[in-house]
Amino acid sequence: MSIFSDVPQAPPVAVFKLTADFREDSHPQKVNLGVGAYRTDDSQPWVLPVVKKVERLIVEDDSLNHEYLPILGLPEFRSASSKVALGDDSPAIKENRVGGVQALGGTGALRIGAEFLRRWYNGTNNTATPVYVSAPTWENHNAVFADAGFKDIRPYHYWDAAKRGLDLAGLLDDLEKAPEHSIFVLHACAHNPTGTDPTQEEWKKIAEIMKRRKLFVFFDSAYQGFASGSLEKDAWAIRFFVSEGFELFVAQSFSKNFGLYNERVGNLTVVAQDNENLTRILSQMEKIVRTTWSNPPSQGARIVSKTLNSDIIGNVKTMADRVLLMRDQLKSKLQALGTPGTWDHITQQIGMFSFTGLNPKQVEYMIKEKHVYLMASGRINMCGLTTKNIDYVAQSIHEAVTK
Ligand code: PLP
């Protein structure tokens, strides 16, 4: 009898299970719209040319070695990351009140930030502070905050299924009613899974209430550049909140915009009130990192810090433009087929994902009958579409909706 015989089998992670099912499917026209990664028009992963160039320079650079990095990470990466989020000319950076914690991807940044908040925010080790995540959200948000010890994780209104857009009234109402000091996880841009972001005017309303109600802003920025093709535009909300004087966290992922998925490169940008607060915060972050991964890996951090924003943006724009093209084509094809319903939301949504509005039964039909794999929520990754499979996918959606 094993000492582990009482360990229950955990359910698989939905998005990875979907990819495994896709791999096993031998149908010649199968399409994977589940995975959260960029694909070229030939359905291949893409190593960004600028990343490849920097990787070669790193290999040739004899001054580099494999010594441990500092606990908080590569200093030039941490400052470069914060500049990507806040802007080169950010007053907060000039005032020496911005710091970074290099993390294992955006997930690591969220986890370290969550752990810090549980330990030190709104009282010491206060597990009762409500944490609000959007309904729906990236499914890992709940679990990351729960595993960090938070006991009260709540959804806030976000998606209005009937209008296929933002439920602004519901969101603002939740902000008004949340207990003071509650933590709100906000998607900085390209909301996952809905592809629906607040407009600048809507962000201003959100910020006004959050400031008045003393709510903590925890931005999750996993798609900077992917929404609009511009790093600046996609950081607008973050920069606006900083200009409004918020002390806040930004969990940054470089998995998507640099195509560095398996290098696990992320950063937790901390905007504090002043340098003295920042110093104490980072001293505690160091304690958390030390017992979590001790110190981070270097390759992804070197690549990001050696790549100028002006170089990466060309490649990011290539990805963003392909997504925009696929949005346009999918909408036109569904309209040409006369598929019932409105499909304008496909081009109104931005970023990697689109929330199609397909219901679970229609999704099941897509997978079982058409071999087109998508999340049960109806979320599709636009990058799974190519000029070769888009007719088949549009036809499949048409059949799923009309059968
Ligand atoms: N946050 C959101 C909204 C995401 O969609 C993802 C990845 O899919 C992440 C965070 C995590 O990114 P990473 O792979 O860098 O941990």
Active site residues: 138, 220, 256
- Nearest to 356, CA basis, from 388, 402, 401: 401
User: Does residue 220 have its Cβ closer than 6 Å to ligand 1?
Assistant: yes
Name the residue of 194, 255, 304 whose CB sits within 8 Å of the most ligand 1 atoms, as the mutation to test its pocket.
Answer: 255
Ligand 1 pocket mutation, candidates 253, 258, 260, 261, criterion most atoms within 8 A of CB: 253
Q: What's the length of the chain?
A: 403
**Protein residue with its CA nearest to atom 8 in ligand 1:** 36
| In contact, 90 and 240? CB cutoff 8 Å | no
CB 144 within 8 A of CB 107: yes
pLDDT digits (tens, 9 = 90+) for 198-245: 999 999 999 999 999 999 999 999 999 989 999 999 999 999 999 999
Bridge pairing between strands 379-381 and 31-32? unpaired
Are the beta carbons of 87 and 235 closer than 8 angstroms? yes
Whether residue 172 has pLDDT greater than 80: yes
252 C-beta closer than 6 A to ligand 1: no
Nearest to 190 by CA among 343, 314, 319, 349: 349
220 beta partners: 187, 251
Q: How many Cα atoms are found within 13 Å in the side-chain-facing hemisphere of 131?
A: 27
Which backbone phi and psi does 11 adopt, to 5 degrees?
-70, 150
CA 286, CA 304: separation in Å to the nearest integer? 22
Q: What is the pLDDT of residues 104-159, one digit of tens each?
A: 999 999 999 999 999 999 999 999 999 999 999 999 999 999 999 999 999 999 99
Does the bond joining 11 to the residue before it have cis omega, within 30 degrees of 0? Answer: no
DSSP state of 71: T
257-267 per-position pLDDT tens digit: 999 999 999 99
Per-residue tokens: 378: 């109806």
Contact 361, 233 (CB under 8 A): no
* Whether 398 contacts 56, CB under 8 Å: no
Neighbours of 322 (CB within 10 A): 20
Q: Is the pLDDT at 311 greater than 90, yes or no? A: no
Q: pLDDT exceeding 90 applies to what percent of the chain?
A: 95
Counting DSSP H helices and E strands in the chain, the numbers are 16, 13
**Sign of the CA dihedral with 316 first, then 371, 399, and 386 last:** positive
Q: Give Cα 310 distance to the centre of its chain.
A: 22
Quote the ligand 1 centre to 106 CA distance (angstroms). 5
For 47-67, the pLDDT digits (tens) are 999 999 999 999 999 999 999
pLDDT for position 35: 81
According to the model, what pLDDT value does residue 49 have? 95
The alpha carbon of 253 and the centre of ligand 1 are apart by a number of angstroms equal to: 6
The runs of H, that is alpha helices, within 213-343 are 231-234, 236-243, 275-292, 299-306, 309-337
The predicted complex's ipTM stands at: 0.99
CB 331 within 8 A of CB 344: yes
Q: How many CA atoms lie within 13 A of 273 on its CB side?
A: 3
Ligand 1 centroid to 222 CA: how many Å? 5
Q: DSSP H helical segments within 61-126, as ranges?
A: 75-86, 91-94, 105-120
In which band, very low, low, confident or very high, does the pLDDT at 15 lie, cut at 50, 70 and 90? confident
Examine residue 193 and say whether the peptide bond preceding it is cis (omega within 30 degrees of 0).
yes
Residue 395 to residue 370: CA distance in whole angstroms = 10
24, 104, 146, 359 from 17: Cα distances, Å: 11, 22, 22, 19
Other CB atoms within 10 A of residue 366 CB: 24
Under the banding of pLDDT at 50, 70 and 90, the label for residue 36 is: confident
| 23: CB partners within 8 A, 6+ apart | none
CA distance linking residue 183 with residue 179, whole number of Å? 9
Q: Please give the Cα distance from 55 to 51 (Å, whole number).
A: 6
* Single-letter code of the amino acid located at 28: P
- pLDDT score of 309 more than 90: no
Q: Residue 182 Cα, ligand 1 centroid: separation in angstroms?
A: 22
Q: What pLDDT sits at residue 310?
A: 75
142 to 26, 107, 161: CA distances (angstroms): 35, 12, 21
The Å distance, Cα 332 to ligand 1 centre, comes to 30
**Ligand 1 neighbourhood includes 106 CB (under 6 angstroms):** yes
Phi then psi dihedrals of residue 395, to 5 deg: -60, -40
Check pLDDT > 80 for residue 308.
no
